Amino acid sequence: MSIGLNPYLFFNGNTGEAVQFYEKALGGKVMGITTFGDMPADPNYPLSDDMKNRVMHAHLKVGDADLMFSDTYDGMPYQPGETVQIAVHPKEEARAREIFAALEDGGQVIVPLHKTDWTPLYGMVKDKFGVNFHINVSGEQQQ
């Protein structure tokens, strides 16, 4: 059973600037940047022009390490200095459900586990200690 972990840094509209800063400061390489506007439109949740331009996901490779980045979504609280979250990447959906359930015990579901355009299973949970975890199964795995 294999699992990957990486820090996920959140910003309030300036993720692009932060990614460029860390790329230069840490000698990293940008592997990709996706804005909220790059995703398929959902008429139930229309995006403002500001939201369309915000970064939904950015990936910076620094040596063997992966740093992930995102801007906050409209209405999400933002407190500078408290913006590091943990992304967990189990290979199996069953393992993802186990991890999610364990972290949910005494915590709070932020985004229920569900299929997305980028993965067969994704969810976000805040554990009982206030740490946010993103559970994200590899897109290649099918169950």
The pTM of this model reads 0.75
For residues 30 and 23, the answer to whether their CB atoms sit within 8 Å is yes
Range 85-143: architecture per CATH: 2-Layer Sandwich (3.30)
- Report pLDDT for 109: 96
143 pLDDT exceeds 50? no
- Average pLDDT score over residue span 20-28: 90
Strands 84-90 and 132-136, by their bridges, are: parallel
Ranges of CATH 3.30.720.100 domains, the chain: 1-41+50-82
Q: What are phi and psi of 39, to 5 degrees?
A: -80, 155
Question: Of the candidates 89, 80, 120, 79, which has an alpha carbon nearest to the alpha carbon of residue 7?
Answer: 89
Distance CA 134, CA 18 (A): 20
Tokens of 69: 């980045």
Query: Among the CATH numbers 3.40.140.10, 3.40.190.10, 3.30.720.100, 2.40.50.140, which is that of 1-41+50-82?
Result: 3.30.720.100
pLDDT tens, position by position, 99-142: 999 999 999 999 999 999 889 999 999 988 788 889 999 765 43
Residue pair 6/65 in contact (Cβ under 8 Å)? The answer is yes
Strand order in the sheet with 55-62: 29-35, 55-62, 65-71, 3-11, 84-90, 132-136, 122-126, 108-114
Give yes or no for residue 95 having a pLDDT over 60: yes
pLDDT tens per residue across span 69-93:
999 988 788 887 678 888 888 889 9
Residues of the chain with CATH 3.30.720.110: 85-143
Percentage, residues of the chain above pLDDT 90: 64
